Amino acid sequence: MRPNTQAKNQTRTITPAAPQDMLKLFSLLKKPHASSDGEDGKLHDHTNGPPTDMTNWDVVQVVVSPGPLGILLDGSHATSVVLDTFETLPGGSKGVLELHGGITHGSVLAKVNEFDFLATKMTLMEAGHVLRETAHLERTLTFKVPPRRRASKVAHEENVTLLSGVTTSSALNVLSDLDDEMDAHTPSTRGSFTNTTLRKPSLTESTNTIVVSVKGPSLEPITPKKKNKFVTVDVPPGPLGLNLDGASPESAVVLGFIPLPDGSRGDLESHGGVKAGSVLIEINGENVSKLSLDLVRARLGAFAGSPRRLLFCLPPSASASKRASQASMASRSRSIVAKVKVIVDEDLDLRRKLELALVMKFDKRKISRKECWFLVDTQWMARWVAFVGQNGPLPGPITNEALLQPDWHERLRGELPGEPDAPREGLERMVHYRCVNPMVWCILSELHGPGDAPVLVRYVLDINADSVDKESVQVLLHDPHPTAAALVLELLSKCRRETVVED
């Protein structure tokens, strides 16, 4: 970022406002105001858009990974995307944009990949839609960053707000009469545009509400955040008995626990250290804090057949949560809040067509010598056919446990000898189970969930044949699994419907 050399070489003394001059601030609260931008002294209205002259602003590009950005946008700029401040990511860490250091308050987001916000004069709501639709992609963000001199004035304006308790723009209208140094920049009332990430289509029909709020200034004192607490749990192969919150699609938040197939409690629930509201941030040392809920579920499914070490970030204590809630309510009571509802649901008719077409595209009767067959319970397959072909309900996770010995779970946990994927006696192909290729298995498990049972993989079309070892299965799924995950994500995004209504 280039400093303003002209401002750097000048030393000015700003005389504080006299008491009688400070009284003038209150008379200007409801008057329209303008501010000057650039060295030419031209006046520009900052209420609805960015400065018209950004020729001297730096251009900064940052490449960010899929997931949340960790930024709050200024809701007072309806026709532009202006950065207000940063926020921590769900795992408690700082985002890439904040860590970069070159993006400052007041920066204007000009482009996201091929979307040019400034050239197309895109509104804040339209830009927010683009940011949501590209959240699953790697993005190149281009910012117009104000010179360092401008950033220092913004900091001074914040101090004026805290001292006077009035809007920054009105205060600087009076201060500009006292010293022409303050004529360079006068932003409008600071605010924050908070846009909750839209929930991706779930596996059940549901209606969700997203609230978009524009808040005015708040004098709530800033309190330092307490250090996050973490807990590590080692769990054996098999189901976790973990219920993750589908209402938080941007991260893996613990909603609670569910009994295991045999009715017992899982290791995570028995551990006692993992609480509702905890966030799963590591799986076997791999950082998943920036992954979406769907991707975390996919990673958990990939390690279902092996021991796992899970690291959770615990939620704040009850007293801290209560204080945060009270502070939020107090701030909200002093804010001007404009709410709209974004109703999100899923077009199941479209999903049925796309899902059937996707499975049929990759279904085949023959596989290569390097591939294997994946076995699927025919009862579940019948429910899936009813869903895609007869307008039936969603089939739910794959139920292959119906094909296994009753004690498969004890075998999986190592409590009894024998292979956990040992089949029941008397099973016949096409009657009790069907065989699909690796790509179809990955698509179905991504769409509906693999279930709790071990994956049934055979080299031949016979459930009683020798099973394929776990290492070979992982190698086999190395390519089709991420491909299927991307295709399913694209399919679900096409089926998502959004309706914006005023609250």
Residue pLDDT, tens place only, 361-402 = 999 888 888 899 999 999 999 999 999 999 999 999 998 988
Sign for the CA dihedral angle at 492, 297, 244, 452 comes to: positive
Contact 105, 86 (CB under 8 A): no
**What pLDDT is recorded for position 447?**
93
**What pLDDT is recorded for position 435?**
94
> What tokens does 425 get?
């006696």
**What pLDDT is recorded for position 50?**
53
pLDDT at 75 over 90: no
Band of the pLDDT at 356, cuts 50, 70, 90? Answer: very high
What Rg value do the Cα atoms of the chain yield, rounded? 28
Q: Give the largest Cα separation in the chain, rounded.
A: 95
Count the alpha carbons within 13 Å of 273 in the hemisphere toward its beta carbon.
13
Q: What is the pLDDT of residues 133-165, one digit of tens each?
A: 888 788 899 999 988 754 444 444 444 333 333
Band of the pLDDT at 350, cuts 50, 70, 90? Answer: very high
b/e per residue, 382-399, with b = 16+ CB within 10 A?
A: ebbeebbeeeeebbebbb
Percentage of the chain surpassing pLDDT 90? 23
pLDDT at 43 over 70: no
Q: Could you say which DSSP state residue 197 is in? A: P
Give the residue from 269, 273, 279 showing the smallest Cα distance to 244.
279
Strand partners, 436: 374
Percentage of the chain surpassing pLDDT 70? 68
- Euclidean distance between the first and the last CA atom of the chain, given in angstroms as a whole number: 42
Higher pLDDT pick, 216 / 166: 216
**What pLDDT is recorded for position 430?**
92
Helices and strands, number each (H, E), in the chain = 15, 21
**What pLDDT is recorded for position 465?**
92
pLDDT at 17 over 80: no
**What pLDDT is recorded for position 147?**
84
Question: Which residue ranges form the domains of the chain, and what is each CATH number?
Answer: 5-195 (2.30.42.10), 230-315 (2.30.42.10), 346-499 (3.30.2230.10)
Q: Is 240 exposed, middle or buried (0-12, 13-18, 19+ CB in 10 A)?
A: buried
Determine the Cα–Cα distance for residues 86 and 184; give it in Å rounded to an integer. 25
Q: Could you say which DSSP state residue 261 is in? A: T
Q: Residue 261: CB partners within 8 Å, gap ≥ 6?
A: 239, 401, 409, 452
**What pLDDT is recorded for position 291?**
86
Higher pLDDT pick, 92 / 331: 92
**What pLDDT is recorded for position 157?**
45
**What pLDDT is recorded for position 463?**
92
Q: What is the pLDDT of residues 294-333, one digit of tens each?
A: 888 888 888 887 899 999 988 876 555 555 555 555 544 4
Q: What is the pLDDT of residues 433-449, one digit of tens each?
A: 999 999 999 999 999 99
**What pLDDT is recorded for position 180?**
42
pLDDT at 205 over 80: no
pLDDT at 202 over 60: no
Q: What is the pLDDT of residues 268-300, one digit of tens each?
A: 988 888 988 899 999 998 888 888 888 888 888
User: Of the spans 40-44, 185-189, 269-273, 337-341, which averages the highest pLDDT?
Assistant: 269-273
b/e per residue, 353-367, with b = 16+ CB within 10 A?
A: ebbeebbeebeeeee
**What pLDDT is recorded for position 355?**
93
Band of the pLDDT at 188, cuts 50, 70, 90? Answer: very low
**What pLDDT is recorded for position 423?**
92
DSSP string, 33-80: --EEETTTTEEE--SSS--S--TTSEEEEEEE-SS---EEE-TT-TTS
Q: What is the pLDDT of residues 57-73, one digit of tens each?
A: 889 999 998 888 888 88
pTM score, two decimals?
A: 0.39
